[in-house]
Structure formats: C-alpha cells, structure tokens
Structure 1
Amino acid sequence: MTYSTILKQAILIIVVLAVAIYSANAQEHPLSKHDSALVVSYTQAYELELQNNVNFKEASRYLNEIAFIYWEHNQYEKAIEYYKESVELNEKIENENGIAMIHNNLGMLHADIMDYEKSYEYFMLTLAARRSKNEKIGMISAMINLSVVLNNLKRYDESIDFLQQSLKLAREMGDVHQMKSCYGMLSETYEKAGNVDQSIYYFNLYKTFTQMIQNEQINQVMEDYSEEKLIKQRLEIENNENRQKLVEKQAELNLIETKKNQFEQELNSYDSITRSLYADLGQKELQLELLTKQSQIEQLKAQQQINQQKAEKEEEKRKLHYALIFTLIVLIILFFLVRSKRRTKKWAISTAEKNKVIERQGNELKDLNANLQVLVEQRTKKLKLANEKLSEFIFSNSHIIRRPVANIKGIVNLLNQNGVDEKNAQLIEMLDASNNELDEALTLFNESLTLSESTLDETNHDTDS
C-alpha cells in the first residue's frame, strides 16, 4: 500500500464522516413515539403533583426529565423553556442545589446555541452557588465551563484567571485528573491568545500527567507535583526511552557487524579453498565450486532484499500513522465547521421567521386602522342623527309643551282677576302651584338637554378632527 493510496483512503473517510456528521446535526430531531409518550407521562405526573400534593421538588424533577428529552433531540428552545419553569419551582422551596444544577444545564444549552453571553451569566450563577457551599468539585467544573465560554468570547485573560483558580483548588484536593484537565485547558487558551511559549509549557505538563497516570505513577505525582520537577521528570522519562532505543539500535548494529565478520571469514575460507583447488582440482571441480560460491552470494543478496523490504514496510507504517493523525485533525476541524454552519443556518431561519411575523403584524395593523376609520365614520353619523333628534325634541319642548303651561297660567290669572269663592280659590291656588312646578321642571329639563346637545356637538367636532 503506497502513501498516495493511504492518503486517498483517508480523504474518503473524512468525506463520509463529514456527511454523517452534517446529516446528524443539521436540524432538530423529532421525538420518537417512546419519547413522546414519556413527555406526556411526565407532564401528567407534573400536573398531578401540583394539584394534589403541591410537591414542588417532585414536580421540578418531572420538568427536568422533559427538558432533557428535548435537549437530546436538539430542540434547545423547548429544553430551555422547561428548565426555566423548573427553576421557578425550586426558587419557591429555596432548593439552592437544584437551582445551581439547572443553571449549569441552561449555561450548556445556551452555549450549544452559541448564545455565549447568556451562557456566561448562568455559569456565573452556578459558580456563586457552589462557592456559597464550598463545593470544590462543583466550583472547578463551573470555572472550566466559564473558561470555555470566555474562549469563545475571546476574553482569554478572564478565562486564564478562572483556570488558574481551578488549578489551585485541584492541587489543594490532590485531584490529579482535574489538574491534568486544567493544564490541557490552559495550553489551549494560551494558544488561542497567541502565547505559544506558555501554551507549550502547559502542554508539556499535561503530557507528563497523562503519561504518569497511564503508568500508574499517581503516588509519585501526589508527592511532588511542582511544575518544574514535573518537566524534569518528563525529560528523564524521554531520555530513558531514547537510551533504551539507542541500546537496541546498538545491539542491532553489533549483530550486523558479527554477521559481517562471519561472512568475511567464510569468504576468506572460500578463498583458501579456491587456492587449494587451483593446485589440486581439475577445471570442472573448480567450476563447480564457483557455482556454489555464486549460489551463496545470491542467498546473501536475497537476505539483503528481504531486509530492505522490511525497512520499506516500516516506512509505510510510519506514513500511515502520520496520515491517520492528519485525518483526525481534519475531522476535528470539519466537525467545528459543520457545527458552526448549522448554528448559522438555524439563526438565519429564526431571523426569517421573525421577519415574517413582523410583516404579518404590520398588515394586521393596517387592516385594523382601516376598520377603525369605518367605525369612527359610523359613530359620527349616529351621533349626528341623535343630535338632530335631540334638537327636534328641544324645539318641541320649548314651543309645544310650554304653550299649554302658559295658557294655564293665563287662565289662572283671569280667574283671580274676576274673583271666585273661597272653595274655588283654593283649587285655583293649587292649580297655579302645580303649573309653576311643571314650569320649573320643564326649565330644568331644557337646561339639561341644552347641556347634552353642546356635549354632543363637542364630541362630533373631536371625531371630525
């Protein structure tokens, strides 16, 4: 298998995996029947807990289960919605541990949708909760998450500060695995910040810890984990490995030298035999000896060719190793490119949908304004008609109704002038009093109608304006 063939196969693998990754992450996954049934079941259990027992903690657990199902299917917005509702329930019972856990999940969800500012806020809330209870493992986890978010925001100094705090806590706890993670993150962050020397420095520490953990040298690491000594120990390990390789190579060279000496001795013996054959053997025997010698030489050449083929195979293996490393690097880069493309596409779709909603609302507002104008015109017509009828009624009251009242007043005056007996005088007096009351009532009624008419005129004027 040639190097070009290996490279072609590596490129083919990259293309296939890229298609698979893109297909898996390009869009949200619909819920399966099983997951849909679980969502319905958890929703019913959640409602039952609130109705019967009012058990906020258990109700929150069901909401978390639903959110996690949507999270697994890349339906991030729904997952965030359920987690937020769960936070509200935990706040009612002051469940700080539950709130910190959900804040951590919300931070990771917002990081998945590339909303790093919101993710930073939730991780900071998580860190504050862990610090209040002095939970060192939780503090380390929250600070590492914060460093990842800050790296995406290109706030490398803040990220390094959190990682240094995490490293200090890991040293206090003697947690080798957490220390190794911190060294790896520090190396990556310094590389992104452009500080190559510091990146290499922390990468060597990360590599040393990895080798020691693999070699089960945990106790030795715990006894002395100062960075300078770790680097020195790593160099000693590499020197020992190189010395061992050098010894092996020297042994191979010695073996080759021994074989060479044996071969020279055999050739010398063949030469002595040849000289004796010149003296003792005939021409045919000499030719036979030469043929034997040529056969041995051919065998040595064949052995040399085999050794050369072995060396070529070793070279092919080395090239294959490099090709695989190259493939892995390309796959990682491709994964992040595809993920970024998916986020961008999702953001574009969301923006387009929002624009459609805004456009639809604008059209509805135009229709509402048009309908409002029609309603105003109809109301104006009704008010004008009512005003006309009111004017007619006022006119009728002023002229038609008041005329009999005036007539009664005149008749009473005439009767008083002509003189009447005492009994009729009382009746006329009562009639005059009733007529006066009716006149006052009509006067008040006219005043109220006049006031109402002026109000209607002002309303019509405002409506026309």
Structure 2
Amino acid sequence: MSPAIKYFVLLLITCFSSSWGGMVYGQKIPEAIQREIDANLALAKSNESQGNLSEAAMYYGKVAKVYWVNNQGKQAINHYEMAASLNIRIGNSNALRTIYGNMGVISSDQEEFENAIVYFQKSLTISKKQKRKADVANMLVNIGSAQLELNRSQESLKSFTEANALALELNDLSLIKSTYGVLAEVETKLGHAEKSAEYFNLYSAFSRRLQRDQMALKDKEVSEREQHAKAQVNEVVQSKLLTEEELQQQTKNLKSTKATLQKVELISKEKQLQINLLSKQRELQQAQLRAQAMVRNAIIGVVIFMMGIAGLILYGYNQKRKANHLLEKQNIEIAAKSQALELASLQIRRQNDNITSSINYAQRIQEALLPTEEGLQTVIPESFVFLQPRDIVSGDFHWFSKSHHSKNTTFKQIAGDSEPRFFITAADCTGHGVPGAFMSMIGVNLLENITRSGGVVASDILNELHRSVRFMLKQYKNDNRDGMEIAFCVIRNQGKTIEFAGARNPLILIKNGELTIIKGDAVPVGGSQNEEQREFTLHTIDIDCPTSCYIFSDGILDQFGGPDSVKFTSRRLRDLLLSIHQLPMAEQKVRVAETIKAWMGLHEPQLDDMLLMGFRLGDDEHPVNLS
C-alpha cells in the first residue's frame, strides 16, 4: 500500500495487547475499563450541562480514546463526533484538526476508506487554514494511502505529489524519502516504469543522504573530543601561571622580612647604649666587663643574623631555580602532549576513515551476494524483507532460491521426483558487524552448494549445513563455537505445502485471524555438539486458505525501548503481526519499520542486527510462481 501514515504509529503502540489470539473491533470491554468510561461520560455530561463546553469536549475525547484503544471503533467515532460538535460551538480548531485525523485513522483501520478520506479532508482543510505545512503534508499522505486502497491511483498520485512538494519545501528529509518511495509505487501501479524508476532513484539518493548525515554526527563527536583535549592543555598552562605568581609572592615576603629585621637591629643597639651608660655610673669595672660581653654578644648576634638572612636568600634562590626547572619541564611535557594529541587525533581520523571505507566496500559486496527483495517477489508476489543492520554490514542474512535437481547428489532422492521447490530462509549468525558478516557469507555459500547438490528436504539441508559449518571452522578439534540460528522453509505444490525446519528460530503462521507458532529445535547450526549426531525436525504444513508466514532473528525481540526502556519481546511482535497481517506485504514492511523506530525513540541505541521476512501463501489473487 502506502508508506508511513503518521497517525497509525499511535494505533500500533496503544492497540492489540493480547498474547496469542487476534483482536477485532467490537469485543467486550473489561469491567474496570467500562467503569472508567462511565466516570468520564458522567463528567462530560455534567460539564456540558453547566456550560463548560471545553471540559465536556475533553472528557468525550477521553472516552473515545479508551474505546479506540480497546478496539471499539464505532463507539470511538461516535464519541469523537460528540467532542467535535462541542469544539465547533466554541471554535477550537486545533482540537477539531486532531479529532478528524483520529477519526480518519480509525475508519482506515476498519477499512472504511471513503469515510476515512472525508475525515482526513476535514483535518486537511483546518491545517491549511492554520498554515501548518507539516500537518498538511501528513494528511495528504493519509488521503493518498486511502485512495490507493480504493484503487483510485490517479487521485492518489495527485495527493502524494502535493505531499512531496510540501516535504521538499519543509526540507524534511525523512518525509521526502518516504513520499518518493510511494510515488515510485504508484507510478509502477499505473504502468509508468520510467517515472517509477526516477522516483525510486530519488528515494535511494535521500536514503544515502540520511546515512551521510549520521556519519557527520560521528565526525562531530571526534571534533568534540579534540576540543576536550585542548581544554586539558589549557588547564596545565594555567597551573604554570599560578606557580610563577606564588614564587613572586615568596620573594616579596623575603624582602619584607629583611627590612623588619634591620629595624629590630637598630632598636636593639640604641637600648644597649642606654644600659651601658647607666652601668658605668654604678660600677665602672662591671660596666667595662659587661660592655665587652655585650660587644661580643652583639658580634655573635650579627653574624647569626647575617647567616640567617643569607640562608633565607639562598633558600629562595634554590626554590626559584627548582620552580623554573619544573616550569621548563612542564612546558616541554605540555608541548609533547599537545603534539602527541594532535598526532593521535589525526591517526584516529585516518583509521576511522579507512575502516569506514573498508566496511562500506564490504557492505556493497554483501548486498551483491544476497538475493534481492524483488527476486523474492517474482516467485511470491506478496512478500517483503525487512533487514536493519546494527552496523554497516550485517550478521543476519536472508537467502532464497529455486530448487536444482542434480543427478550427482549425496542426498536421498525420491524416484521420479522433479517437483519444483522454492527455498527461503532467515538466519542470525554469531556476532554482528564485520565478524557476523563473514559468517553470513559462509552460510550463503554453503546453502548454495547444498541445494545445488540436490538437497530438497528442509531438515536434511539443515543437517548438512550443520556438518559443513563444523567442518569448515574445524570445530571438531578446536574451541570455536561460532554458528547460526536459522529458520528454513521449503515451498512446494505451487504454494499449497510448506516444509519447515528450525535451529532455535521459529515460523509464525497466521490464518483466519489465528496465530500459530512452529518452534525450531533448541540447538543451533554449528558450534558445540554434545549429542552423537544432530538431526533437525521436519514440519510439514498444508496451506488451504490465505496464510501469512513470518520468519525472523532475535534482534527485534531483544531491542530495548518504550517509555520504560524494556525489551520489545516476542509478545509485542506477535501482537504487531496480528494487527497488520491482512495488509499488503509492502505496507506491513513499512509498519514494522515505523514501529521499531518509534519503540527505540531518540535515545535507545540499536543492540543487534534486525531481520524479519514475511510472505503470503494460498492467495488466489497473488499466486506463487514456482515454474
């Protein structure tokens, strides 16, 4: 269908909270929630009777939202209508814009696309009056998506074109990329191959531009680290200046002490003269002896005093010389550290550029070796591949191929069996990034060899893959424990039969609103082997009605996010698949990407590679082509 519909993100986050069974509009409301609805309705009616129309509209809106979250679409629209009528009376256009948008989303979810277009048009009209270009663009996307569901491709093309123009005007790179993607889809549907290719090239260009912006952010982080290093150098220089100021202050203190001591010396001499004169008057002889003693003591005192002054001066000189030597040493160290930091920063940037260039080249090689989503859709028209590596290259990989009937084979063959088959797999190798990518290339190469050598049974292929991984990595004689978790499917009988074998990874089937999980074996492909011989279990499933099938790695399940920063978990994935399994596979891929992005938010980093593949069998409108 269409790309991201902004308001559907709220529906995906808040709805569908059951664990296994599918949820539909019209189910019974739990008693606790019904009490909450009744309380809000009572408050709404009370405020309305008292003339508090704004408060009454707010409580009607709360009631509508509770019905919406609990999958009571018609009740939600009825109470949104009540809230809208009150907001019309008080002229609250902001609330009306949001209410009409929500009503359009609910109608789209109930597949009442004509009604949805009417509500979206009302919200669009208000957004245009308020000159809210971003909201206008989003409403145009919603309208175009509903028109596309009604096969009104020309009208949808006009809506998406107008939305694209606004996205370009707003310079919203993400919205620009999305609108180019849906324009390419619509042009393809209209049979305009050249125009579709042009839009797809623009979509790819903006995708690359967004990736470059992310690299620019990394360069900014490197620059900030350089600034921090320079700040540390400035702190050392400031410390040097403070040391010089302390030395100057010590010198001043020494000079002041010297002057004070000289004054003391003069005062002492005057007092001594007075004592000598008095002593001469009393006893001349004793005065002479005392005078001699005083002279002797005075000489000794002067000598001691001068030695003390000389010692202080010498101490100050030595301290200043040590300080100067320390400052000179610190200057040398500062210069050396500054030069080393500059060289290290330059080396880091060069290494980062070289590593990034090498990994980007490895990404191109990996993408060239893996089959494309378009190739999958030539066999199963209703299918998609959602692959989001944590780093540039991925340790998760997808692979699919038609069967090859070989005469020279080591596999057990059924006489006269030339039935065409289609292999499809999703695998999670040990590690991620470059190490995981190496393992993924080993896995792809081994699967190609095994299937070209005549392997056609899912369990036999996994058995041989396990033996080949252990042989290639010499795990039978070393401590290497690398391997992969994998879900492997074989489609035959023109899509009426699917065979499955799994190494820890399951297969999810959804038909008639019921979800079924077929678990894989609890052991991986490759790694340690305690049992004498590892044999994987074969599951055979007959497809007698349209059935949505999903295989995936654990990257989505283990991703942290949400308001409480918790794992996404298998329960949330099941709820998500139940809520979207009836949509076209192309739109399901968009919904999955939007949900994961909203779950991670702006602050949660991606922890692992993410892979999810979906395909629909038993659909007479889009039959499987195994010929």
- Is the TM value for this pair above 0.5? no
Give the structure-2-normalised TM-score: 0.34
Give the structure-1-normalised TM-score: 0.45
Q: Which has the higher helix share?
A: 1
